[in-house]
Structure 1
Amino acid sequence: MDKIEEEEVREDEEAEEEENQDGEPEDLEANVGDLKKQLEETQIIVPQNDTAIQGTKFDMSEFPDSYKENSQKEKSVLENAENYRRQYVHLFRDRKPLFLNPLNECGIEPEPNPPKKEQKKYAVRPPRDLRSKFLIKMEERRKKEEKEEREKLRKEEEERILEAEKPPPDPLYGLRIHSWVLVRSGKREVPEDFFIEPFTGVAYPQTSGKFLGIECVWNNWNYWANMQDCANACRDLSFNLSDTVSWELMLIGSKEPSLQIPDLDDDIDDFEDEDDEKKEEEKHLDMPASWVKSIEISEKDYDSRCPLGKKTILYKKAKLEKYAPYLLKEGLVLRLSVYNDNEMNNLKRVMETFSNREDKLKKRTEESGVITENFTEGRQRSLCEHTYHAKTPNPESERTMIFYHTARVDGLYKREETSKEMKEYFENRQDFLYFRHVIFGKRVKKLAPAQAEGTPRPILRISEHFHRNETIDANADVADRTFIVAEDKIQLTYHRKHENVTASTREFFKPPNAQEKIGNLQWTPDMSITFQVDSHAAPSKHLSVYDQLVVLIQIEQKCIQSVRASEEEVREILMDRQREEMMHELSISVYDTERNEKAKRKKKEMEIQAQEEKLRRQEMEMDYLAPFLAQIGNPEKISPKQAIQLKEDCMADLKQRLIDKANLIQLRFEKETSELHRRQQEYQQKQVSMTKEDEEEYYNYCSEAMFRIHILELRLNRYDRFQVILWLSIAITFD
């Protein structure tokens, strides 16, 4: 078979070569000649085209001959253009003449001469394709078969996935009864009928495939049964309820509500003569009033948003979980989990949305071990976004922080940090700084006592970049400033002017211990290297260069302090985030009396104070001498000796009661304090092995215990002042 196909290909090649050796195509000069004679016989008066040259006169001697004379080919093209124009004028006599051949600078009608390809007398023929056409054909056939095979496998895989994702057969398909809203066309500029799903509020057209058919339609006037075939769902249904063939109504007396605008004749009928006989209207059964009470939804049920306050929706390779606000202690309201497989075993990405968080956390996304947290405005350090690796949440690891720069004094917009470098981006700074790059070195191990915060990373290089300051000269405006701390060098690169190719530079070599001898530096001219773009400008004096070095050393110290402050800020932010994730504090409105614990405690304190005030007034109204007078028989009159004894007994009893009550309050205070201390020690010992429920119980106990201790302390202080006042007031009363 291969030999037969190869012979066929060779025969095709020979046939192609024979066709290439055939003669020229047939001559069509006869037809062209006839057309030329017809056009020559046509006489047309051509309107004159005012193409006079206006403007400056040119010296003809300055132009080459191509401007003054037309070549033979240009003449032929002009003749063709004239013939084309004559035909146009003959066919469209009422139109403006075409703008085809205007005069050039020399008053000649030029035609640009297309560039001719240079004809070489001797040229090398292109190499002949020596490849076998049979092999080429076989290769194309093989590639085509491979492509078809790949396409076939792709379609089979798609069909397999579709078959695997197909839901199982529903035994109740078409048997479920569902109610939805039908909005008819006619009123309120509704162009066509459409449906509204009551559970979601989404509108669907009549042709939607979500609805399999309609059994009946009803409103507050009547009930209509559908008599039409629903084989094509709701697409072909007619909603003309007055058509008794398509809809069977239940109550004969009730009519379909009119959708037409009432005619003027209907209004005139209302003014007919009252003496006319009125036809008795036949009474029919109508629809009774609704027995359903008005729907009342409590605020708690409204906030829950779904049964039990949570709902899970499954999608293809995704799961959506919804929670009511304040249902979960961490403030989670939405969690979207995306998977790589249909079985939802291989988790790809998790996106969580929070609300009412005290730490302003709005959204958290975790994908491939990278966590991104988004915050709303209002945090202490204006953090907007925080991206880090879940395995390395500690400081001096790879992370990116984005800030609300308008709320910060330093204008910091973004900070990127790794174990070896840190990059900071700024916006709208007065010193025109927009970028800072810090390179750290490895820590050197020293035999010294360990510090709480550890040894800071050594700084090798600090690079700062500045925007252009238009108020000063470019050669004096610093563009890049680099402090090579490890080599005691300072490099300056100034902004470049538009007419210059390069920029001016200056490099300083710091003397040893320069930061300690800022006021008395040893200066030599070889400690600076200057490249000045403008060679005609006067060189800088040694004194100005020395002063610049002193200022740069001071700036270097400030930059190092800024870098250390940035490192400290990162540590504080991470500590705050760790504490916030442990506490999970939620912000509650002062108007939310159900959840606002502070308002509840305040209300409870006010109730306790009111009760104590009531008891105090009752004690003031009591007769303290009644029990002591009963001991001596309640005499109508007492002697001075009895009065003195009565005073001593009363004051002694009051003193004992005040001491007993103070001891009781002190005993309760010490008991609560010791119990809180015991629970705190127990928490410190079992903190690692405690569950979240135990931690939550511990935090609740601490909150309640602190509240009780605070109340007892207030009561004890208030009682100390009260007993002194009471003792003095009673003593004055006896005197």
Structure 2
Amino acid sequence: MADASYPRSYTTNTSQENELLAIADNFHRQFSHLHPERKRLLLCPVNECGVKKFVSTTIRPAPTDHPELYSWQGCASFVSDFLTLEPLELPYDPPARLFSSTLVMQNQRATSFEYAVLLCGLLLGADYDAYCVSGYAHREMCLLDQRLQDCPLLGTQAEKVASEHQSPQDKYTVRPPRQLKSHFEEQLQEKKKEQEAEAASLHEQEVEEPGEQRPFDPLWVHCWVLVLSGCRGVQENFFIDPLSGLSYSTDTASFLGIESLWNTFNCYVNKQDCGRGCGDVLYDLEDVNLWEPVIYGATSKKELMLEIEKDEQRLFSQYIEEDEDVQLAEYKEEEKEEEDEEEPQPFAMPTPWVTYINITNQDLETRFPRGQKVNRYRKAKLEQFVPYLRMDGLVSRLSLYKDRDCTEVAMVKEEYLHRSDHLEQREVNKVEDFTTDRFKRGRRFHLIFHRYRSMTVDSIHEMEFSDAARVDDLVWRVVTPGEMTETFHARPDFLYYRRSVFGRHVQFSQNKEADPKIHLVQVVERFHRDESKAANEDVAERVFMMSEGRIDVTFHLREHRIIALKMSFTTAAENTQQRRGEELTPAQMECLRTPTLREMTSLMADEDKVSVHIKESMKEVTMRLYD
């Protein structure tokens, strides 16, 4: 039923549109007579007001001022996120109704044909040479069933971030000895494993999980978008599935055949054989042996571009001609030739009956229907949310499962926006019981990475900091039961490593402001070389053994020496004398010197400072756990 609220173009047809419908009806009758084996073409579907409209007039090019929609990737992503799929009533036949893009934008529900019409309008508005394609695809693609496909977020840059956040000490590990093995035997073993894996995969598909096999039902009707090369720097033709927003090459096996394609200029019927899919189809729409145009003589976009180039060349030649008489004579001669060659004008395509599509900032921000969207993949589920919809700032949650029925969670990856604690990503590994948090700049203590295990007996914390923002130049901290290791960068005192050993497990209080109960047993500090000092006066390592009341100092190695100079003392003088009386070799006696009173006083003061720093570091860990 026609509604008075609709514009007049929705409820009635002009004389030009009625003539176009008669041409299309005549074309369809001839096509059905010549090709009775072909299915019904989608030429004149009914709109939401019950009025027949030609398919080319249902596309309204939609130029936009949103930078996000300047590229085909942005347009495809917006359409796939903004709409919800409504399956066709008859999946084996093209639809009899095709609603306008304005109604689709209001309801946010559409069939694959309405998906493609909206996306094609956005692409034409962005100056792409795009066409809606009516054809056939697999059942899973027509129903947006991605449970047999891997999630596209897997294997992307988000997966590589974890490998980048590794301890700096990993770079300096000793390489393992070279394994002397036969490469021929390794190749035989690899080939054997590949054959066994392939056989196991076939057996799994045929016997264990027959439900995952794609049923033999290839003729499901589907609609997608074709983008031809030549505009916006497109080098090769490609397809876009509007339901998922993904691009495919024209020789992909995902699409099984093409019946027709159209845009605002014309509609073309495929005359090529698609028995082996779309890989052999050529897209020269000007060749009538390959494509049959519904409207003969209609101007295509390619012809318009050629005419524009000719006009530009003509204007340019008019400016460079110096002889005005010759120029005028040539111009008159060209006009005379054009008049001689003038033929009856072909039928002109009417303007689109759909009103202009207005995409607002709110549409881009709240792009998901009701603010959220869920996609299911093979052993994965992706949940997406509109910013500010959830109180915790969650915008994306990817859940990975161990089984194909998605009953047991293996890992959860979450992304956040606009949080006061600057949390950006969180990864919860249920298998290894690890949680990984990543923060943007501005986090408390300038923390940018935190990987930790739940507070159990074997709790582990790995932290990375922004060294340029911290006063102590700390970049990495690893806390394990009974031990803490810290790494520094570019400190003025040349300290780069500190390892603290505790006598028992550190006990964290429920009060985050309280100091953790720790008992230091040993602290090891290492320093880079300070070229302003002599090697035998530049400390390379010092060890504070609190449990024994002893301090050992090792200096940097001097030139032409293989043993570094060392210094050791305890708080009790008799213990020092006893240690000096121990059995030592002459070389060791030469490399061992007695510290002065000033050095002992300084080292004992440094021991107290180190204890304070370690308590502050452990307090940071405590406050991070409970903030």
With the shorter chain as reference, the TM-score category is: 0.5 to 0.7
- Do structure 1's residue 409 and structure 2's residue 471 form an aligned pair? yes
Give the Cα–Cα distance (whole angstroms) in 2 for the partners of residues 425 and 561 of structure 1. 17
Aligned partner letter, 2:437? E
Matched-pair contact (CA < 8 Å) for 1:334–1:353: yes
Correspondent of 1:329 among 391, 410, 416: 391
- 1: CA distance, partners of 2:205 / 2:597: 78
Q: 1:261 to 1:467 in 2, by over 3 A?
A: same
- More deviation, 451-460/298-307: 451-460
Cα deviation for residue 158 of structure 1 reads 1.3
Q: Which residue of structure 2 aligns with residue 289 of structure 1?
A: 351
Once the two structures are superposed, the pairs formed by residues 300-319 of structure 1 within 5 Å of their partners are 300-319=362-381
507, 510, 517: which one aligns with 1:456 = 517
- Seen in structure 2, the aligned counterparts of structure 1 residues 436 and 391 have a Cα distance that, compared at 3 Å, is closer
Q: 1:175 to 1:264 in 2, by over 3 A?
A: closer
Equivalence for 1:603: none
2:376·2:382 contact (CA, 8 Å) conserved in 1?
Answer: yes
Verify the 8 A CA contact 2:506 2:517 in the aligned structure 1. no
User: 1:463-521, CA deviations, whole angstroms, 9 ceiling, x for partnerless residues?
Assistant: 2111111111111111111111122111111111231010111111203xxxxxxxxxx
> Could you tell me how far 1:210 is from its partner in structure 2?
2.4
Q: How does 1:190-589 map onto structure 2 within 5 Å?
A: 193-198=237-242, 202-258=246-302, 271-272=332-333, 281-367=343-429, 368-392=432-456, 397-442=459-504, 453=514, 456-511=517-572, 526=577, 529=580, 545-576=596-627
- Deviations 1:417-452 (CA, angstroms, capped at 9, x unpaired): 23312211111111111111112224999xxxx999
CA distance in 1, matches of 2:479, 2:205: 46
Higher relative contact order (CA 8 A, sep 6+): 2
**Mapping of 1:538-687 within 5 angstroms?**
545-576=596-627
The verdict on how the C-alpha distance between 1:167 and 1:475 changes in structure 2, with shifts beyond 3 A counting, is same
Instruction: Please state how far the C-alpha of 1:154 moved relative to its aligned partner.
Output: 4.9
CA contact (8 A) 2:535 2:556 kept: yes
Relative to structure 1, is the Cα distance of residues 153 and 227 closer, same or farther in structure 2, using a 3 angstrom cutoff? closer
Letter aligned with residue 453 of structure 2: H
SS in 1 for 2:272: coil
**In the aligned structure 1, how far is the partner of 2:192 from the partner of 2:475?**
54
TM superposition shift of 1:156:
4.2
In the other structure, the counterpart of 1:178 is 223
- Tell me, what secondary structure is at the counterpart of 2:602? helix
Displacement of 1:147 in angstroms is 13
Which secondary structure state, in structure 1, belongs to the residue aligned with residue 201 of structure 2? Answer: helix
- Kept in 1: contact 2:229–2:236 (CA 8 A): yes
For 2:241 and 2:192, the matched residues in 1 are separated by 46
Q: Percent identity?
A: 31
Cα distance, 1:194 vs structure 2: 3.7
Matched residue of 1:498: which SS?
Answer: coil
How far did residue 229 of structure 1 move? 2.8
Where in structure 2 are the equivalents of 1:5-24 lying within 5 Å?
Answer: none
Shift of residue 223 of structure 1? 2.1
Query: Does the CA-based 8 Å contact 1:369-1:391 persist in structure 2?
Result: no
**What secondary structure sits across from 2:224 in the alignment?**
coil
C-alpha distance in 2 between matches for 1:526 and 1:224:
102
Supply the AA of the counterpart residue of 2:248.
Y
CA deviation digits over 1:259-302, x for unaligned, max 9? 59579899698532878976774244321101222222233321
Would the aligned equivalents of 1:509 and 1:528 in 2 still touch at CA under 8 Å?
Answer: no
What is the alpha-carbon distance in structure 1 between the residues aligned to residue 192 and residue 245 of structure 2?
A: 47
Residue by residue, what CA displacement relative to the aligned partner does 1:397-416 show, whole Å, maximum 9, x if unpaired?
A: 43122111111000111112
The residue identity in structure 1 corresponding to 2:408 is N
**CA distance in structure 2 between the partners assigned to 1:218 and 1:358 by the alignment:** 50
> Structure 1: which amino acid aligns with 2:386?
A
Distance 2:476 2:191 in 1: 52
Matched, 1:158 2:201: yes
Q: CA deviation at 1:381?
A: 0.7
Distance 1:165 1:323, change over 3 A: farther
| Separation in 2, partners of 1:439, 1:412 | 18
Rounded Cα–Cα distance in structure 2 between residues aligned with 1:170 and 1:568: 60
Instruction: Look up the SS of the partner of 1:212 in the other structure.
Output: strand
Q: TM-score, normalised by structure 1?
A: 0.49
Query: Over residues 97-150 of structure 1, what are the superposed CA-to-partner deviations in whole Å (9 max), with x where a residue is unaligned?
Result: xxxxxxxxxxxxxxxxxxxxxxxxxxxxxxxxxxxxxxxxxxxxxxxxx99999
Q: What letter matches 1:181 in structure 2?
A: L
Q: Is the Cα contact below 8 Å between 1:478 and 1:492 reproduced in 2?
A: yes
Do the aligned residues in 1 keep the contact of 2:516 with 2:618 (CA within 8 Å)? no
- 1:349 maps to amino acid: M
In 2, the alpha carbon distance for the partners of 1:150 and 1:362 equals 41
Aligned 8 A contact 1:317 1:341 in 2 = yes
The structure richer in helix per residue is 1
**Does the Cα contact within 8 Å between 1:181 and 1:198 map onto a contact in 2?**
no
> 1-side partners of 2:538 and 2:616: how far apart?
27
Shift of 1:218: 2.2
Q: Which residue of 2 aligns with 1:127?
A: none
Aligned residue identity for 2:257? G
Deviating more after overlay: 484-493 vs 261-270: 261-270
Question: In 2, Cα distance between the equivalents of 1:148 and 1:203?
Answer: 34
Distance 1:225 1:422 in 2: 72
Aligned equivalents of 1:574, 1:231: Cα separation in 2: 62
* Kept after mapping to 1: 8 A contact 2:564/2:591: no
Shift of 1:305: 2.6
- TM-score (structure 2 length as normaliser): 0.57
Asked if 2 retains the 8 angstrom alpha-carbon contact of 1:508 and 1:527, the reply is no
Identify unmatched segments of 5+ residues in structure 2.
1-188, 315-328
Distance 2:232 2:192 in 1: 58
Once residues 379 and 460 of structure 1 are traced to their aligned partners in structure 2, the CA distance between those partners, rounded to angstroms, is 32
Larger radius of gyration: 1
Contact 1:510 1:527 in 2 (8 A): no
| Residues in 1 aligned to 2:367 and 2:243: alpha-carbon distance in whole angstroms | 12
Which range moves more in the overlay, 167-176 or 522-531? 522-531
Cα distance, 1:243 vs. partner? 3.7
Q: Please tell me whether the aligned partners of residues 493 and 506 of structure 1 are also in contact (alpha carbons under 8 angstroms).
A: yes
| Counterpart position of 1:607 | none
| C-alpha contact 1:211 1:233 (8 A) present in aligned 2 | yes
The CA deviation string for residues 143-178 of structure 1, in whole angstroms up to 9 with x for no partner, is xxx999999865542113234276465687423230
Is the contact made by 2:565 and 2:591 (CA closer than 8 Å) also made in structure 1? Answer: no
- The count of residues paired between Structure 1 and Structure 2 equals 412
Q: Report how far residue 524 of structure 1 moved.
A: 10
What displacement does 1:546 show? 1.4
